[in-house]
Structure 1
């Protein structure tokens, strides 16, 4: 899908010479209007989370947790309190989650599993968040050290984790979010990652009751409910099993490049690498509707912006956001 040309110059240049006397006045008016709009935007955003659009005090530090999503890891703990949940493909066509917290910290989150190379690019936009994870393979340790995040594993902060004796290893490791952040006092604060919140586009949406995303060996269903746990949202089901206590207000199905990395698991499965810098198409689910969208992330330090096909910001509904990375 071709992207719209923004800020095009040179239109009607043949008339420009005759308009020169009015240019200073026009520029002054435009500057005043722009300043007014920016001030209104700042007023609207002030006191709200850049991740959910909910009222927030600001200054909250960011914690990302790498969450196991094998069938044996379910049901999860702490997903309902996450501001953001990213879904990514891992070995053998399975999936794993990255849950991001700032506004609300549950007592524990998990089960926690190992990080992947893709996570370092994804999390760079959060400006050095704390990362709770169970470890990485030896060849990735240098990349963890160089990544723009603060790694906190059971090896470096054992008191920030616990094992559930009623569950089988390795699906029984849980993080204590407050303790993880105590072990990462320099973790970055929540800031702009490109999201916009507000009313949906006036047109272009399609009413949908359910949307499915298929991975080679995993499925995600999002079903619209007017009263999911008391709040309208998208009921989540993984591999056909509903996820209790989780109903994101917005679900983004983002088409990305998923390629082989240089790494793999002990069974010989190649680890996929999900490219989150670039641009492409997306579907944004909100308010029981699906909207065609385009996404762009210019670099690792940049957030991801979502726009309508006409180039206008596509605003999310206030509340939890899920971003599902789907192979383009």
Structure 2
């Protein structure tokens, strides 16, 4: 199994290749004194991810943001701009999201919630990622400090976070990503191992797919007009405050081992640990079809490869990707 090559920041060549942000993206990322603290940027200030086939020089690493997914946290803000959205199970059978940004930054992202041990292993595939989160269990903090990432909880960078009105804490904490990343690193910072291109041959017709956790449910329904999968969470259509319904171009249901960790929440519920290193089976949804696959991630520093039964890598559709970790 091949390993992917890493791009390290700081080299002279990368400095010469750093791209200046477009005027529209700059408008979407500005967080000056006139910014309303409502977590709901106007539609013309939202940003959309680039297709991964775009050639862009990496000038840094990705921004990963832990997103609250309780019912009271919806609708989300800034989620449409993410290149990748990971869905993981947390305490009590609920779900939480981790959104990864490389090609575009929205004006605001949130609501932001706490980190988990699973996130640390998942983020090892990136080169010095920035992790924005609202806190973590006390016993997990030393592991975050030791992880090869830039930790950005509230209070670390002045002005990066704010509380939006209209919702009660803890479901009202928002991030101004421009405070942490004045420019985007580009799609080449997405060292996930994913491959993008034309749909493979074969597959089965699949207009809808549902993944369930003990207390959460995700349904993805193919929309030809959107060219993606409309997302429903717990039976309700998922939308964003600034860019309308969520409709990722590719959805991956990755079957993994979910085991107990050494951590618990304040109610004593065990925190599940999702094993993303190893191998297993998966289902790739794109273009209204489902493709059965295997996944492989030899080490935490590697991306994840998805292959068909004949061993060929499965290309994803250009655009946003959702990876839903389901219990094997």
Asked whether the two chains share a fold, i.e. TM above 0.5, the reply is yes
Segments of 4+ moved more than 6 angstroms: none
Tell whether the 8 Å contact from 1:51 to 1:84 is kept in structure 2 after alignment: no
Which sections of structure 1, spanning at least 5 residues, go unmatched? 1-5, 8-46
Tell whether the 8 Å contact from 1:56 to 1:103 is kept in structure 2 after alignment: no
Tell whether the 8 Å contact from 2:62 to 2:190 is kept in structure 1 after alignment: no
Aligned equivalents of 1:235, 1:191: Cα separation in 2: 24
Aligned residues: 277
Aligned equivalents of 1:316, 1:296: Cα separation in 2: 16
Query: Is 165-174 or 150-159 further displaced after alignment?
Result: 150-159
Correspondence for 1:14: none
Secondary structure of the corresponding residue to residue 211 of structure 1: strand
Aligned equivalents of 1:126, 1:62: Cα separation in 2: 7
How far is the alpha carbon of 1:185 from its aligned partner?
Answer: 11
- Equivalent positions of 1:134-283 (< 5 A) are 134-181=134-181, 190-203=189-202, 205-228=203-226, 232-244=227-239, 245-283=245-283
When residues 214 and 143 of structure 1 are mapped into structure 2, their CA distance, relative to the original with a 3 A threshold, is: same
Secondary structure of the corresponding residue to residue 227 of structure 1: coil
Secondary structure of the corresponding residue to residue 120 of structure 2: helix
How far is the alpha carbon of 1:310 from its aligned partner?
Answer: 1.1
Which structure's CA Rg is the greater one? 1
How far is the alpha carbon of 1:191 from its aligned partner?
Answer: 4.2
How far is the alpha carbon of 1:201 from its aligned partner?
Answer: 1.6
Secondary structure of the corresponding residue to residue 196 of structure 2: coil
Query: Is 241-250 or 56-65 further displaced after alignment?
Result: 56-65
- Equivalent positions of 1:28-67 (< 5 A) are 52-60=51-59, 61-67=61-67
Which sections of structure 2, spanning at least 5 residues, go unmatched? 3-18, 20-48, 240-244
> What whole-Å deviation, never above 9, does each CA across 1:194-222 have from its counterpart, x for those lacking one?
1111112212x010111000000000000
How far is the alpha carbon of 1:192 from its aligned partner?
Answer: 2.9
When residues 132 and 189 of structure 1 are mapped into structure 2, their CA distance, relative to the original with a 3 A threshold, is: farther
Tell whether the 8 Å contact from 1:162 to 1:175 is kept in structure 2 after alignment: yes
> What whole-Å deviation, never above 9, does each CA across 1:106-147 have from its counterpart, x for those lacking one?
001000000000100001101111010001111111100111
How far is the alpha carbon of 1:158 from its aligned partner?
Answer: 3.8
CA RMSD for the aligned pairs? Answer: 2.3
Correspondence for 1:3: none
Correspondence for 1:324: 324
Correspondence for 1:299: 299
Aligned equivalents of 1:56, 1:168: Cα separation in 2: 42
TM-score, with normalisation over the residues of structure 2? Answer: 0.80
TM-score, with normalisation over the residues of structure 1? Answer: 0.80
